[in-house]
Amino acid sequence: MKAFVYKGPGKKALEDRPVPDVKAPTDATVKIIKTTICGTDLHILKGDVPTCTPGRILGHEGVGIVEKTGPGVTAFHQGDHVLISCISACGKCEYCRRGMYSHCTTGGWILGNTIDGTQAEYVRIPHADTSLYPIPPGADEEALVMLSDILPTGFECGVLNGRVEPGATVAIVGAGPIGLAALLTAQFYSPAEIIMIDLDDNRLEVARRFGATQTVNSKDGKAAEKVKALTAGRGADTAIEAVGLPATFLLCEELVAPGGIIANVGVHGTKVDLHLERLWSENIAITTRLVDTVTTPMLLKTVQSKKIDPKLLITHRFKLDKILDAYETFGHAASTGALKVIIEA
Q: What is the pLDDT of residues 3-13, one digit of tens each?
A: 999 999 999 99
- 0.85 exceeded by the pTM? yes
Phi, psi dihedral angles at 81 (to 5 degrees): -85, 130
d(CA 114, CA 16): 19
Architecture label for domain 152-287: 3-Layer(aba) Sandwich (3.40)
pLDDT tens-digit series, residues 180-232: 999 999 999 999 999 999 999 999 999 999 999 999 999 999 999 999 999 99
Buried b / exposed e across 152-166, counting CB within 10 Å, b at 16+?
bbbbbbbbbbbebee
What is the widest separation between alpha-carbon atoms in the chain?
62
Tally Cβ neighbours within 10 Å of residue 25: 11
Q: What span, in angstroms and rounded, lies between the C-alpha atoms of 299 and 140?
A: 14
Q: What is the pLDDT of residues 307-334, one digit of tens each?
A: 999 999 999 999 999 999 999 999 999 8
**Structural domain spans, the chain:** 2-148+292-344, 152-287
Query: Which CATH topology does 2-148+292-344 take?
Result: Quinone Oxidoreductase; Chain A, domain 1 (3.90.180)
Closest by CA position to 118, among listed 65, 59, 68: 59
pLDDT confidence tier of residue 137, bands split at 50, 70 and 90: confident
Residue 61 has pLDDT above 90, yes or no: yes
Tell me the pLDDT tens digit for each residue of 67-85. 999 999 999 999 999 999 9
Same fold, 2-148+292-344 and 152-287: no
Beta carbons of 140 and 312 less than 8 angstroms apart: no
